[in-house]
Amino acid sequence: MRVAKETVVAIEYTLKDDQGNIIDASGDRGPMEYLHGAQNIIPGLEQGVEGLVAGDTKSVLVPPQLGYGEYSDKLLQQVPLSAFGANTPQVGMRFHAETNLGMRVLTIKKIEGEEVTLDGNHELAGKTLHFDIKVVSVRAAELTELSHGHPHQAGGCCGGGCGSGEGSGGGCCSSEEGSEGGCCSSEQPAQKSEGGCGSGGCGCSH
Ligand SMILES: [Zn+2]
């Protein structure tokens, strides 16, 4: 079976930047499973996998516009230190927050005196991504998977497609409650959403 819309695909991957540094790899986590055609993963990677069969390997080059977007200064904002209340912010800290673009992951970029600069860009924004992938399996999606918009194996309900950061709508992880230490806490940069999932607990019945 070839990778096409409405198939559930499992891939192993290594992700490198322009300098050849490894940013992420499926490695010990095991293959990443996703529902093809449901925007579970970034568009450039999805296009690269299209038409492959189990056992195929491929190098896929993903430009920023088909990955995590261009870096935008518009996503920088300043907030007063006092906004953090009793918490002590530190550069590099990341957290979910409601912004005028919806729920996003914000990173503390700079702290100067009483002013804290927050960066709403994805950490991989502006980067060209170099994927080396191997297709592990391809199967037809089941009806419930199609209606949920993600696969139902390996990692539970959110194995492939929840949208915490970007608010992908639908999907079992779209509610803010779910992201509180729940299903959207682990990182999986190949996936489109800010948080890859897998620890369950997001109210999807299967
Ligand atoms: Zn589900």
Cα of 80 to ligand 1 centre, how many Å? 39
For residues 117, 118, 122 and 127, what is the CA-based torsion angle, rounded to 10 degrees? 0
This prediction has a pTM of 0.69
Taken in order 54, 62, 162, 199, is the CA torsion positive or negative?
positive
What is the Cα 133 distance to its own chain's centre? 17
Cα of 166 to ligand 1 centre, how many Å? 18
pLDDT tens digit string along 117-161?
A: 999 999 899 999 999 999 999 999 999 999 999 998 644 555 444
pLDDT tens digit string along 65-89?
A: 999 999 999 999 999 999 988 888 9
> Could you give the CA distance from residue 23 to residue 129 in angstroms, rounded to a whole number?
9
Write down the pLDDT at residue 104: 84
- SS3 (DSSP) at 36: coil
Cα of 22 to ligand 1 centre, how many Å? 30
* Under 8 Å between Cβ of 71 and 122: no
Cα of 144 to ligand 1 centre, how many Å? 7
Write down the pLDDT at residue 204: 55
The overall average pLDDT reported for the chain is 80
Cα of 161 to ligand 1 centre, how many Å? 9
The phi-psi region of residue 69 (left if phi > 0; otherwise alpha if psi is between -120 and 50; otherwise beta) is left
User: What are the chain's domains?
Assistant: 7-65+126-161 (3.10.50.40), 73-119 (2.40.10.330)
Cα of 195 to ligand 1 centre, how many Å? 16
Cα of 157 to ligand 1 centre, how many Å? 4
DSSP assignment, residue 141? P
DSSP assignment, residue 115? E
Cα of 26 to ligand 1 centre, how many Å? 21
When pLDDT is averaged across residues 160-164 and rounded to a whole number, the result is 41
